[in-house]
Structure 1
Amino acid sequence: MQKPLPKGWKWVKLGEVADGEKFSIRMGPFGSQLKKHELVNEGIKVLWIENIVDNEFKWLDNKSITEGKFKQLEGFKVKPNDILTTTMGTIARTCVVPSNIGKAIISSHLLKISPDLSRINPTFVAKYMSSGFALRYFDKKAHGIVMKGLNTSIIKNLPIPLPPLSTQHKIVEILEEADNLRKLRRQADEKMKDLIPSLFVRMFGDPATNPKGWEMISLGDVCNKPEYGVTATATNSFIGPKFLRITDIQNGNVDWNKVPYCECSDIDRNKSRLSIRDIVVARIGSTTGKAYLVRDCPDAVFASYLIRLRTNDSLLPEFLFAFMDTKSYWTQINSVKGTRLKQGINIPVLINLKFPLPPLPLQQEFAKLVEGIEAEKARQAEGKKKLDELFNSLMQRAFTGELVA
């Protein structure tokens, strides 16, 4: 049931506020209409779902099509102020097409909406489409078992609370101001990501060239016996320890609140129990070689698709983990892995990785600096959380008429 709206507002369907021109709401071309071999490096740009990041348009070095192909697909062209949304994968990522778009078309898994600008501020609609109100609607209506998707009918029938155009402009102005604070936070986070790799190179040099002339060693020389994890079934029931899997490691972090549990024997539990400063490495799949340094954890074991490394007294895990983010590490991993995602890597591959071993005092100095950087990251993450909460609160109030009079 739709909630009552303030005076002057009304509920409309998204399809009702398109500009009414031909192809004003249209899904991207099917695969048979645009094939890979028809893409070229220079020409008229093709927009993909990757062009929408954090509900904003992002310029990429997109593949293009020829003028001749564009004439065949002209019904899929976009223009400034069109609204784009993703229809597969992470559905309903939404943005407004920038004014300098030039000639471009959408690809499959994108849908474009050309709004009636006499009634609609496109940014108002785009922000509503990314709000909790709209996302709940899309999640309920989306189809598909393995991967959820949206179709044109679902999107056209999205109910939108429509205030007068002047009110839309005011709401957008407030939300944009709040969103700019979040952008600054994201920019600071991006810079923070580069600090540890830069510090590593500054203190130790490139491991591939070993400019300090330190002894080259194999990982097996400075690690206790690596181990594979436990084979078990993940469950949300509180029946045993937390069960860390490859998919629980995102951007170098683990949200332990979202990690499931598992039932395992006492022998497996003791053998595979994680400790602070353990390093686990993905041994199979598209993220083969991805590493995670355990900085805190509850009672937890790790899954069989992970390999645990524990260093001895001559190697600090902070140094090893930073090395595992270098080009030298990935060159060695990729030379073994190649394109064989299912075969991945194993313990013999890891223990034969080569790198220079710096003096322990220098490693300790590095670890101390890393500790400070990680503490700052944690503070920034808390600040980001508060900004997100503020923005979500503003979004909630914006589309119920509580934000502006």
Structure 2
Amino acid sequence: MTEKMQLSAVCEIIMGQAPKGESYNTARDGWALIAGAGDFSAGKLAPKKWTTEASKLSKTGDIVLSIRASIGAKVWSDGEFCLGRGVAALRAKAGLSKEFLWHWITFKEEELVAKGKGATFLQVNRGDIGELEMELPPLAQQRRIATVLERVDSLRAKRRKAVALLDDLAQAAFLDMFGDPVMNPKGWPVLPFGEVCETRLGKMLDSKRETGRSGRPYLRNANVQWFRIDTTDLLEMDFNGKDKVTYGLAPGDLMICEGGEPGRAAIWRGEVEDCYFQKALHRARPNVELARAEYLVWMLRILSMRGGLSDHVSTATIAHLTGAKLKLLPILLPPVKLQQEFTSRLEAVEEMKKRHAVQLATLDELFESLQQRAFAGQLWDHEAA
């Protein structure tokens, strides 16, 4: 039976420290400063500031770990960086594989996050990190375990990339068939959104009038993401008989965010029975003789990406897409037959995404199982230990 040991016994923990204010610069002189998870990008260090004076430095091969706000986020150090107070570097000592350490600290992330303390934002200290306990197999077995986990993790990454590429394919199909909706190079006829869809804002939440006697689930801004509606955390408020008619949802309704990220939209597919919507959202019901919901949601997405909504969003304090502004939004109207062809292409893409999602879920389960077994000693060759 292998004895448990604390991380501090097998790993050097270099806690970051903020350099003096006068040492900061943006001229890329001195050391690139890593202040926190905000300086991580796509699995690499992406510094935004530099300093001419550094006391805590990472080395190539260190794991740079975020220790505040986004506790547990991590990235490999590919050089010498100044460590700010929002990060720490983990440097494996002799007898500990850095790749094994990477996967083990991933496995321990929840435990580390639970140690976070702080009034304004959570953070962990050297003791919190160093007291994490591990069982350490021989170095050769560490490397074998890390290799197995890396292979499965690589397959998961490829599946995620495939899904992202399918999203790109849908966008490319839209632009190929309809052109840029901001510039309208194909000269499609244009109508205001209010003449294409019947629209209305949802019900205002008034806690003073809530009785709880006719509570029903409702959608709010946070539930509507691009192309999908998240129903995992629906709240409830009263919707009486009249409200049910006014604020009811039907499959095919287009739900559009009024604030937050104005214009963000998804199609309601009847995910929850007897569901309604709050004032932070617009409900749009397309005139099917003019437009398909699938076409409209992609139209809004590309307009949002290309600045086509900016003239229609009120920004005096917080950005809003008001009911009046939405009704005036110009919408390109290619033939419905062409829109339907686009919808058919989308359905094929979505079917491929579903298959990838099933395979990704299987890989996620496998990876989690392997992690559990690896760090519980169940993947070790105990005779060789």
Range of TM-score over shorter length: 0.7 to 0.9
In 2 relative to 1, CA 190–58 (structure 1 residues): closer, same or farther, beyond 3 Å? farther
| Among candidates 283, 286, 291, match of residue 265 of structure 2 | 291
1: distance between equivalents of 2:168 and 2:263? 19
Residue of structure 2 in register with 1:176 after alignment: 150
Counterparts in 2 of 1:338-349, with a 5 A limit?
340=316, 342-349=318-325
Counterparts in 2 of 1:182-261, with a 5 A limit?
182-231=156-205, 240-250=215-225, 252-256=227-231, 258-261=232-235
Q: How far apart are residue 166 of structure 1 and its match?
A: 1.8
| Among candidates 279, 285, 291, match of residue 310 of structure 1 | 285
- For the residue of structure 2 that corresponds to 1:130, the secondary structure is helix
Residue of structure 1 in register with 2:37 after alignment: 49
Residue of structure 2 in register with 1:63 after alignment: 48
2: distance between equivalents of 1:401 and 1:263? 50
- Does residue 384 of the first structure (1) align with residue 360 of the second (2)? yes
Q: How far apart are residue 318 of structure 1 and its match?
A: 0.8
- For the residue of structure 2 that corresponds to 1:102, the secondary structure is coil
Q: How far apart are residue 127 of structure 1 and its match?
A: 1.3
- Flag structure 1 segments of 5+ consecutive residues without an equivalent: 1-6
1: distance between equivalents of 2:213 and 2:64? 42
Residue of structure 1 in register with 2:346 after alignment: 370
- Does residue 142 of the first structure (1) align with residue 116 of the second (2)? yes
In 2 relative to 1, CA 386–357 (structure 1 residues): closer, same or farther, beyond 3 Å? same
- Does residue 95 of the first structure (1) align with residue 72 of the second (2)? no
In 2 relative to 1, CA 327–76 (structure 1 residues): closer, same or farther, beyond 3 Å? farther
% identity of equivalent residues: 26
* Kept after mapping to 2: 8 A contact 1:96/1:122: no
Q: Which amino acid aligns with 1:382?
A: V
- For the residue of structure 1 that corresponds to 2:199, the secondary structure is coil
- Flag structure 2 segments of 5+ consecutive residues without an equivalent: none
Q: How far apart are residue 34 of structure 1 and its match?
A: 5.2
In 2 relative to 1, CA 269–198 (structure 1 residues): closer, same or farther, beyond 3 Å? same
**For residues 246-302 of structure 1, what are the alpha-carbon distances to aligned partners after superposition, in whole Å with 9 as ceiling and x for unaligned?**
22344543342x2223031223344222222212122223x2322122234112222
Q: Which amino acid aligns with 1:241?
A: R
* Kept after mapping to 1: 8 A contact 2:43/2:76: yes
Residue of structure 2 in register with 1:3 after alignment: none
2: distance between equivalents of 1:130 and 1:270? 49
| Among candidates 7, 10, 13, match of residue 17 of structure 1 | 10
1: distance between equivalents of 2:318 and 2:330? 24
Q: Which amino acid aligns with 1:13?
A: Q
| Among candidates 74, 83, 94, match of residue 106 of structure 1 | 83
Q: Which amino acid aligns with 1:25?
A: I
* Kept after mapping to 1: 8 A contact 2:26/2:49: yes
What's the TM-score once normalised by structure 2's chain length? 0.87
Q: How far apart are residue 214 of structure 1 and its match?
A: 1.6
- For the residue of structure 2 that corresponds to 1:203, the secondary structure is helix
- For the residue of structure 2 that corresponds to 1:194, the secondary structure is helix
* Kept after mapping to 1: 8 A contact 2:196/2:291: yes
Residue of structure 1 in register with 2:66 after alignment: 86
Q: Which amino acid aligns with 2:79?
A: G
Q: Which amino acid aligns with 1:29?
A: A
* Kept after mapping to 2: 8 A contact 1:253/1:292: yes
- For the residue of structure 1 that corresponds to 2:308, the secondary structure is helix
2: distance between equivalents of 1:147 and 1:14? 25
* Kept after mapping to 2: 8 A contact 1:289/1:345: yes
Residue of structure 2 in register with 1:274 after alignment: 249
Q: What is the Cα-based RMSD across aligned positions, in Å?
A: 2.8
Q: Which amino acid aligns with 2:174?
A: F
2: distance between equivalents of 1:290 and 1:170? 45
**For residues 63-117 of structure 1, what are the alpha-carbon distances to aligned partners after superposition, in whole Å with 9 as ceiling and x for unaligned?**
241xxx33x22x23211121222223332123332xxx2332234422222221x
- For the residue of structure 2 that corresponds to 1:308, the secondary structure is strand
In 2 relative to 1, CA 151–283 (structure 1 residues): closer, same or farther, beyond 3 Å? farther
- For the residue of structure 2 that corresponds to 1:318, the secondary structure is helix
1: distance between equivalents of 2:354 and 2:317? 33
Deviates more, 1:106-115 or 1:395-404: 106-115
| Among candidates 322, 326, 335, match of residue 311 of structure 2 | 335
Q: Which amino acid aligns with 1:206?
A: D
Q: How far apart are residue 327 of structure 1 and its match?
A: 4.0
In 2 relative to 1, CA 363–126 (structure 1 residues): closer, same or farther, beyond 3 Å? same
Q: How far apart are residue 128 of structure 1 and its match?
A: 1.4
Residue of structure 2 in register with 1:4 after alignment: none
What's the TM-score once normalised by structure 1's chain length? 0.83
